Amino acid sequence: MQSYSIHGARNFPFHKERSHLDIALEDGTGDDAFLEALNSGLARALKDADPNMVIYLAGADPYSGDAFGHLALSKDGLAQRDRQVLGTCCAAGQPVAITMSGGYAHVISDTVDIHFETIRIAAQLLRLNSNDRS
């Protein structure tokens, strides 16, 4: 099994388990830089791993309003991340298991909104894919 991690370099845990592909981002990394790093890493990870299934830890802690995260993604940036990950996996024919991960926003409803949007995007892609097979 191979793993790919894109994360804040100084985020908890301070001693991180090593992945097959680690992309550590600097504090304050925003939408554009994050999505660019994600795009190049995701393509490489899928090619290298040739997985039977993808497990996607859809963390809300990269959000700019998170109490513990050090990245600065907007809610829209996180939704774009979800579309990018899930869309890429769907296009490659990869089944995906999603788990909510992290999320300690100062305003709790922000964390809820972020996780709900991940589920909404996944459901939307599932409907599109099931319609394509009909």
Closest by CA position to 37, among listed 10, 75, 5, 3: 5
Residue 15 CA from chain centroid, whole number = 20
Determine the Cα–Cα distance for residues 59 and 78; give it in Å rounded to an integer: 9
pTM: 0.91
pLDDT at position 2 is 82
Give mean pLDDT, residues 44-58.
92
Where helices occur in the chain by DSSP H, the ranges are 31-49, 75-91, 108-133
With a pLDDT cut of 90, the percent of the chain lying above it is 67
What would the pLDDT profile of 92-125 be if each residue is shown by its tens digit? 999 999 999 989 999 999 999 999 999 999 999 9
Closest by CA position to 122, among listed 37, 61, 56: 56
Determine the Cα–Cα distance for residues 26 and 67; give it in Å rounded to an integer: 16
Determine the Cα–Cα distance for residues 81 and 35; give it in Å rounded to an integer: 6
What would the pLDDT profile of 10-43 be if each residue is shown by its tens digit? 876 556 567 778 888 999 999 999 999 999 899 8
pLDDT at position 8 is 82
Spell out the domains of the chain, with CATH numbers in brackets.
4-133 (3.40.800.20)
